[in-house]
Amino acid sequence: MTRFAPMPRFRSRLRPGLSAWPLCCGLLATTLWLSPAAARCVDESQAVTRVDVTGDAPPPPEPRAVLQGLVRDALARSQAVGASRLLAEAALQDIEEARAGKALQASMTAEIGPAVVQSGSVTSSSAVQARGTVSVSRMLYDGGRVDRLTDWRTQLAESARFGHLTQQEQIALTTVALAMERSRYRQHVLVYGQYVRKMACLVEALEAITRADRGRASELVQARKSMQQAELAQAQSQSQVRQVEVRLRRLVGDGLPGVDGLSSVLLVVPELSALESDVMRSTEIAQLAAQAAAMGQYAAAVEAGGRPQVSWSFGGSKTVGTGSGGVDNRGGSLGLGVSVSIPLVNPGIAPAAEAARKRAQAAILQREEALEARRYRVREMHEQTLSTFDRATRVGAVLRDSEQVRTFTLQQWQQLGRRSLFDVMSAELEHYNLRVAYVNALHDGQQMNALLLSLGRGVSEWLR
């Protein structure tokens, strides 16, 4: 926020030897001559106060729909969201892969080439021999290893799904925050634009006064300097608007909507108890819980790897070849059986299972730590949000008094000559600085409110 330095206060005095009566008459005539312009200055300030400070004008309908459209466009354009969606879909395919471990397995092999076969004392050779083999097998019992691997993949897929939702929430929060920031600087441009017009009005009045009284030239210079400072602040705010719009266009594309109504869309602060209960619904906490559950299932799968495995298999082969002397060699075989595999010595199973269990316990502790940290973060942000909105309310109350002070000061300077120009400019400076402070407090509170929602159920759900 750009602030203007306070100006020195002093009053012009009559030069010795001059009569006050002609000067008073001249000032009175000048005041009467400038009264239409002065009235325009007062009327414009009052109109601006009614619209922008007191908030009597109704906001445009459905400002939340504007944010919904921005978030929808941002999610559609985000490559990060697309990548997280593909990762979630890939995790679903991993489940099918793990589940296929208990399904029927079939394979076929084919071989062709020269061969030598010895059976007892008889040796036969073939210049060309072809062999085809078909085998079918299925797991009967594996100690629950495939089931646990499937559960592990299922929890990883759930974690990937929550990761996709978390990425969407981050994009939504960033979009809402940038939309609020754009509204903030647009309001700055509006306030400083009104300040420029007010200073231009004073400059116009002082130019007419200076033509009648050259001794007031210093006041004209001071008023022009204040107008240039206001123009500088307005130009800086316009630059900040353009910078924010560049970042917002990167998210949502061109064709940004207006900002009407966004200064009042997030004014209601939820109750702290509701926010703390919503923390459990946070996608980030749910993702950590899914990861902890996945590590537990993986530890069970490692333990199951040391148990006996039973499977059945059926196979058949057919051999065709040409032996020595041109004699055809043909043969075939069929086999059906049950195989049992019992691990006897595998020193790596125990430490692998223990390591997996410890990783699962560590994941649970990480989830609890994140949950506790988020709850305290919600309490801190809730207090900051309430404090910011309270500051906005108090600044608004001071702003109403400031409006009266600046109006009375301007009238006393124009009509009664009891105030100097520097009193007028000081009152204007204070008033517009308070208006900028009010805008900042209002938008700070709304951005904090959006962050509060994102720590719980999420901005996306609130928008829906």
- Tens of pLDDT, residue by residue over 294-326, are 999 999 999 888 888 888 888 888 887 766 555
Considering the domain architecture, whether residues 155 and 41 belong to the same structural domain is answered as yes
Residue ranges in 213-264 assigned as alpha helix (H): 217-252
Reading across the β-sheet that carries 122-141, which strands appear in turn?
105-119, 122-141, 309-323, 328-341
The pLDDT of residue 53 is above 70: no
Considering the domain architecture, whether residues 378 and 314 belong to the same structural domain is answered as no
Q: What percent of the chain has pLDDT over 90?
A: 45
pLDDT score at 140 = 86
pLDDT score at 131 = 81
Considering the domain architecture, whether residues 183 and 318 belong to the same structural domain is answered as no
Query: Is residue 446 a contact partner of residue 62, using CB atoms and an 8 Å limit?
Result: no
Query: Is residue 414 a contact partner of residue 350, using CB atoms and an 8 Å limit?
Result: no
Which band of pLDDT confidence, cut at 50, 70 and 90, is reported for residue 25?
very low
Say if 168 falls within a structural domain.
Answer: yes
Query: Is residue 159 a contact partner of residue 291, using CB atoms and an 8 Å limit?
Result: yes
The pLDDT of residue 103 is above 70: yes
Considering the domain architecture, whether residues 369 and 449 belong to the same structural domain is answered as yes
Considering the domain architecture, whether residues 313 and 298 belong to the same structural domain is answered as no
Dist. CA 398–CA 435, nearest whole Å: 10
Considering the domain architecture, whether residues 92 and 167 belong to the same structural domain is answered as yes
Say if 193 falls within a structural domain.
Answer: yes
Say if 253 falls within a structural domain.
Answer: yes
Instruction: Quote the distance between the C-alpha of residue 25 and its chain's center.
Output: 64
Last residue of a domain, one of 290, 319, 342: 342
Sign of the CA dihedral 408, 410, 415, 418?
positive
- Number of domains the chain contains: 2
Question: How many CB atoms are closer than 10 A to CB 226?
Answer: 25
Say if residue 179 is exposed, middle or buried (CB neighbours under 10 Å; 0-12, 13-18, 19+): buried
**Token output for 46:** 């009052």
Torsion angle of C-alpha atoms 227, 229, 230, 232, degrees rounded to 10: 120
pLDDT score at 38 = 47
| 318 DSSP β-pair partners | 132, 332
Domain that holds residue 120: 111-141+308-342
CATH of the domain at 290: 1.20.1600.10
Give the HSE-up count for residue 154: Cα atoms under 13 Å, Cβ half-sphere. Answer: 10
Considering the domain architecture, whether residues 234 and 258 belong to the same structural domain is answered as yes
Considering the domain architecture, whether residues 243 and 375 belong to the same structural domain is answered as yes
Last residue of a domain, one of 288, 318, 342: 342
Dist. CA 449–CA 262, nearest whole Å: 13
Considering the domain architecture, whether residues 95 and 191 belong to the same structural domain is answered as yes
Last residue of a domain, one of 292, 316, 342: 342
Say if 46 falls within a structural domain.
Answer: yes
Whole-prediction pTM = 0.79
Query: Is residue 102 a contact partner of residue 277, using CB atoms and an 8 Å limit?
Result: no
Considering the domain architecture, whether residues 284 and 373 belong to the same structural domain is answered as yes
Considering the domain architecture, whether residues 240 and 336 belong to the same structural domain is answered as no
pLDDT score at 323 = 61
Q: Which of 1-15, 39-53, 222-236 has the least mean pLDDT?
A: 1-15
pLDDT score at 233 = 94
Say if 19 falls within a structural domain.
Answer: no
pLDDT score at 104 = 87
Say if 16 falls within a structural domain.
Answer: no
Considering the domain architecture, whether residues 273 and 334 belong to the same structural domain is answered as no
Give tens-digit pLDDT for 375-410. Answer: 999 999 999 999 999 999 999 999 999 989 888 888
pLDDT score at 41 = 58
Dist. CA 329–CA 342, nearest whole Å: 39
Say if 372 falls within a structural domain.
Answer: yes
Give tens-digit pLDDT for 279-296. Answer: 988 999 999 999 999 999
Report the chain's C-alpha Rg in angstroms: 40
Say if 312 falls within a structural domain.
Answer: yes
Give tens-digit pLDDT for 41-51. Answer: 554 444 333 33
